[in-house]
Amino acid sequence: KNEVEQSPQNLTAQEGEFITINCSYSVGISALHWLQQHPGGGIVSLFMLSSGKKKHGRLIATINIQEKHSSLHITASHPRDSAVYICAVSATNKLIFGTGTLLAVQP
């Protein structure tokens, strides 16, 4: 069992839909990260969370430390949001990555 699990693995949405990607972890962490990777490209850090909720534009990330669970929400999704979204946790001075969620937003 992976230490960081994401669901769903693949997600197709229509433009404008509200999207949720989930992440569960089983290790002690100092922070949780949501990352975005476009095809063939580098990785962009979207959020770093250790508690509560953060919002940036149409993106919202939440974390529940007691339940070891985090969610990434995208409101009013757009085709340019199509990418792989990766949950990663900071543990033992390095990042442990989830397997990613491939999101395709269709116009």
Q: What distance in Å separates the CA atoms of residue 100 and residue 47, rounded to the nearest whole number?
A: 15
Distances (CA, A) of 9 to 16, 19, 37, 85: 20, 13, 14, 10
40 part of the interface to another protein, by CB under 8 A:
yes
Q: Which one of the spans 18-26, 42-50, 52-60, 67-75 is the region binding another protein (CB under 8 A)?
A: 42-50
Label the pairing between strands 52-56 and 59-64. antiparallel
Applying CB under 8 A, which of residues 28, 57, 94, 107 lies at the interface with another protein? Answer: 94
Give the footprint of another protein on this chain (CB under 8 A): 30-31, 33, 35, 40-45, 48, 86, 88, 90, 93-95, 97-100
